[in-house]
Amino acid sequence: MFASAKEILAKAKAEKYAVGAFNVSNMEIAQGVVMAAVEKRSPLILQITESAMKYAGDKELAKIVRTVIDERSEDVPVGINLDHGKTLDLVKKAIDLGFSSVMIDGSRLTFQENKNLTKSVVDYSRQKNIPVQAELGIVPYLGELNTDQTDWSTLMTDPDKAKDFVDYTGVDFLAVAIGNAHGFFREAEVFDWARLKTINEKLGIPLVLHGASDCSVDKISKSIENGVACFNVDTDIRLAFMGQLTKMVDSKVSITDPRKIMEAVREAVKKKVVEKINIFGSSHKA
Ligand code: G3H
Ligand code: ZN
C-alpha cells in the first residue's frame, strides 16, 4: 500500500523500532525489497537518487517503483523517497513524479545556506502535503575526506544548531551525523550517543541515520533508543545484488536466459532486506 513517510516514521518512532529506506535503481531491486516487506509485514521506504533517475529514466523508474508497490505490497505501507536531493527543482520533479517524501541535502553548504534551501523546500512541499527530510552535519563518502585522520568532531551534528535549524525550517525528519559514514568510508568505532540523545530530546522529530549498511546490531538498537526511526541502506543491497549476479555468471552452467540469473539476484536482495528488517525491529508493524 503506497504510503506517506510521515505516518511510517511517526509510528516507528512512537513504538521504538525503525524502518529501512532502501535505494532502488531497477525493477528487480524494487521487487526484492517489496517482497521482503510483505513476507515480514514490515513497513519500509524505497528511495531514488538523482543518479538512479539518470540511469533508468526518471519517469520510467518512478513508474516501475510505484507499480511494484501497487501490485505487490498488499496492505503493507511502502513509501517512495527522493534520496539526497540537492536542489528545489529536483524536489519539484520528484513530487511531480509521485514520490511520497523528499530529502533535501544541503549538508555541504554553509549552515545559513542549508537553512535557506531547506526552508524553500519545506515551504513548497507543504503545499503538496509531502514531508521533507534534511541533513545537518557531514556523513562522509569514500574519497571525500582523508580516511586516515578523520576528525569526527568536525563532522557531527551540533544539537543547538539542529534545534535552530528545525525550528526555522519546519522540516519533518532530520538526518544526523554522529560518526556514521556512507558506503565504504569506515564509520567511527563508537558513535556519539550523548550527542544523539541530546539531539533527540531537543528536536522530538524522527531522526534518520544514513550509511546504515555496515552498522552493528548494537549500534542499530542504541540509535533506535535515541530517536532514530529510519536507516538508509544502499551498499549492502548493491553487494547482495552483485554478489549473486557474479556467482551466477561465474557458475559453470551455461545460462542463456537472463531471467534465470535475475530471479536469483532478486531473491538475494529480498534476503538481505529481510535481515535488515529483523535488525530494525519492523517485522509485523504493518
Ligand atoms: O542515502 C543512502 C544511504 O545513506 C546509504 O548508505 O550505502 O552506506 O548503506 P550506505
Ligand atoms: Zn545517504
- Tell me the pLDDT tens digit for each residue of 56-96: 999 999 999 999 999 999 999 999 999 999 999 999 999 99
Compute the distance between CA of residue 187 and CA of residue 181 in angstroms, rounded to an integer: 5
Among candidates 281, 275, 274, 280, which has minimal Cα distance to 37?
274
The response to whether residue 232 sits with its C-beta less than 6 Å from ligand 1 reads: yes
What confidence category does residue 22 fall into, taking pLDDT thresholds of 50, 70 and 90?
Answer: very high
Residue 285 belongs to some domain of the structure: no
**What is the identity of the amino acid at 55?**
Y
Ligand 1 pocket test: pick from 210, 216, 236, 273 the residue with the most ligand atoms within 8 Å of its Cβ: 210
Residue 148 has pLDDT above 90, yes or no: no
How many alpha carbons lie under 13 Å from residue 55 in its C-beta half-sphere?
Answer: 9
Q: Which of 83, 172, 192, 236 is catalytic?
A: 83
**Res. 7: pLDDT tops 80:** yes
Cα–Cα distance measured from residue 140 to residue 155, given in angstroms and rounded to the nearest whole number: 8
Q: How many domains does the chain have?
A: 1
pLDDT at residue 150, as a whole number:
86
Report the chain's terminal Cα–Cα distance, integer Å.
Answer: 10
The x, y and z cell numbers of residue 254, run together, are: 551455461
Instruction: Determine whether the shortest distance from the Cβ of 183 to ligand 1 is under 6 A.
Output: yes
Q: Does residue 12 carry a pLDDT above 80?
A: yes
Please provide the average confidence, as pLDDT, over all residues in the chain: 96
Q: Is the CB of 233 under 6 A from ligand 1?
A: yes
3-state secondary structure the chain: CECCHHHHHHHHHHCCCCEEEEECCCHHHHHHHHHHHHHHCCCEEEEECHHHHHHHCHHHHHHHHHHHHHHHCCCCCEEEEEEEECCHHHHHHHHHCCCCEEEECCCCCCHHHHHHHHHHHHHHHHHCCCCEEEEECCCCCCCCCCHHHCCHHHCCCCHHHHHHHHHHHCCCEEEECCCCCCCCCCCCCCCCHHHHHHHHHHHCCCEEECCCCCCCHHHHHHHHHCCEEEEEECHHHHHHHHHHHHHHHHCCCCCCCHHHHHHHHHHHHHHHHHHHHHHHCCCCCC
Nine cell digits for residue 195: 550527542
Q: How do residues 85-140 score in pLDDT, each as one tens digit?
A: 999 999 999 999 999 999 999 999 999 999 999 999 999 999 999 999 999 999 99
CA of 254 to the centre of ligand 1 (A): 34
The enclosing domain of 43 has a CATH number of 3.20.20.70
Q: What is the pLDDT of residue 125?
A: 98
212 Cβ inside 6 Å of ligand 1: yes
Residue pLDDT, tens place only, 249-269: 888 677 788 999 999 999 999
Does the residue 170 lie in any domain? Answer: yes
The pLDDT value recorded for residue 45 is 98
pLDDT bracket for residue 278 (50, 70, 90) = very high
Residue 19, φ and ψ in degrees, nearest 5: -110, 160
Contact 29, 6 (CB under 8 A): no
* Assigned domain for 20 exists: yes
Domain that residue 95 falls in: 5-280
Would you say residue 286 lies in a domain? no
Per the annotation, the verdict on 83 as an active-site residue is yes
Please indicate, yes or no, if residue 230 is contained in any of the structural domains.
yes
Tens digits of residue pLDDT in 154-198 = 999 999 999 999 999 999 999 999 999 999 999 999 999 999 999
Ion ligand 2: residue ranges with CB closer than 5 A: 210, 232
Residue nearest to atom 2 of ligand 1 (CA): 232
d(CA 231, ligand 1 centre) in Å = 8
Q: Are 171 and 204 in contact (CB under 8 A)?
A: no
Cβ–ligand 1 contact at 210 (below 6 Å): yes
CB of 182 within 6 A of ligand 1: the answer is yes
Q: Among positive and negative, which fits the CA dihedral 184, 188, 190, 191?
A: negative
Task: Give the residue, by CA position, lying nearest to ligand 1 atom 6.
Answer: 211
Compute the distance from residue 235 Cα to the ligand 2 centre, in Å: 10
What is the 213 CA–ligand 1 centroid distance (Å)? 6
Question: Does 224 sit in the ligand 1 pocket, CB within 6 Å?
Answer: no
Name the pLDDT band for 271 (thresholds 50, 70, 90).
very high
